[in-house]
Chain A
């Protein structure tokens, strides 16, 4: 039987109290929200905080406020089920509701939170194993070992960014608010993730993710496509978020693309923005010729490694297909 290791459990009621505890205890403390990422990792001794600080009883973290006109703030402890079922999110940000609904299972979405999903630990076939399994391979670079078994010559950890919401947040230009005893700061989702499986966040351990700021819905549209083996439970082994904004008015009856973003998740330690895909789309009509060029750019740039489910070359090929699907979904919903 896998039991949790012993730890001290704290349940603050305010943001100030939460950041004071983590500031006082230091790096052996860790925040927890739904527990669906941290507790399995603790059972397998991948993460071993001595103090666990729940952020589920902080009322400010449990709210959704605003609307599509002014932008929406989602508290970090709002559960994924509440996002999937929220009328305003479904009306104004259907891509968020859709991506959240592809996460895991209904029961896990009842527990898991948006903050937890955005901070999800990176995943790898050599890391997401129980203690004895990892001991059997002399551990790995990410935890307790000194070799990355995915790329043994590498000095960097290649564990994979595996959240469905991360590529979407990067694509639509969301911002995250962080708090610590030193004060607050806002950070763009696009600049929040490092391409390193160990040091994968710009968030310091003493910082609390407070809320997520979605931009106003002034004319952009976005979609998400997820690759996984089963229709439930599984993490993405490729996720494609597409974002499009058109110029006002039409030229020759066609709408011209003013801005476009393609962001791939599930193939590297960080979400990957495909600048060449944006370049292929911007300034042109949104028709299949340019969509195919963008998909080709995503295929060229996608370099998945052999450390998740499915063969890596097939995942690379799927980057083209899933980018096509994500963009075509935006074309038909005119």
Chain B
């Protein structure tokens, strides 16, 4: 038991990936340790912070609570697959533009959950965004700039202009 490595194939960020790993490893451990992808972060390891979020078949899940074995044959997207080559995803751009990332440790999880949300709902209001992102903790920037980044990206993706409040861009008016 546990001596033999598991060997699976799955789609990772649009490409077929093949990997061998100890069978009791979580998908988070497989991504970081066996595939060398460090974008998915280790946080609480217990499902209480959201920073290890990846998308499996388009749905956000916590990679610290999913076995690597269960990824077999699935379509997994980690933060490394969010940009299109050198072209950042609109959410990545607005997170940078609005200062929605400070230390950045929570950003991969927030970005992927926000991407999932905007795919389902291209025009979410603030309450919808809050609920969708309620499984992700940020301990430095606070949540306002993150909500604004999502609203700005949503507007840009709809082809609309949007201005952020002056207070957000310049601090207190």
User: Given A106-B60, A107-B61, A35–B24 Cβ distance below 8 Å?
Assistant: no
Q: Is A5 an interface residue (CB 8 A)?
A: yes
**Are A39 and B65 closer than 8 Å at their CB atoms?**
yes
Question: Which residues on B sit within 8 Å (CB–CB) of A111?
Answer: 61-62, 65-66
Question: Which residues on A sit within 8 Å (CB–CB) of B67?
Answer: 9, 35
Q: In the complex the two chains form, what is the Cα distance from A320 to B116 in whole Å?
A: 40
How many residues of chain B have a CB within 8 Å of chain A? 30
Q: Is B106 an interface residue (CB 8 A)?
A: no
Question: Which residues on A sit within 8 Å (CB–CB) of B135?
Answer: 104-108, 232-233
Q: Is A182 an interface residue (CB 8 A)?
A: no
B172 to chain A, nearest CB (A): 27
**Are B48 and A233 closer than 8 Å at their CB atoms?**
yes
Q: In the complex the two chains form, what is the Cα distance from A39 to B29 in whole Å?
A: 14
Q: Is B102 an interface residue (CB 8 A)?
A: no
Q: Is A2 an interface residue (CB 8 A)?
A: yes
Main SS of chain A's interface residues? loop
Question: Which residues on B sit within 8 Å (CB–CB) of A11?
Answer: 69
Measured as residues with beta carbon below 8 angstroms from the partner, the interface class of chain A is 20 to 34
Question: Which residues on B sit within 8 Å (CB–CB) of A106?
Answer: 60, 113, 131-132, 134-135
A residues whose Cβ falls under 8 Å from a Cβ of B: 1-9, 11, 34-36, 39-40, 43-44, 50, 54, 56, 81, 104-108, 110-111, 231-233
B residues whose Cβ falls under 8 Å from a Cβ of A: 1-2, 22-26, 29, 42, 45-48, 50, 53, 59-62, 65-67, 69-70, 113, 131-132, 134-136
A-B contact pairs, 9 of them (CB 8 A): A2-B45, A6-B1, A11-B69, A39-B26, A105-B50, A105-B134, A107-B62, A107-B113, A231-B134
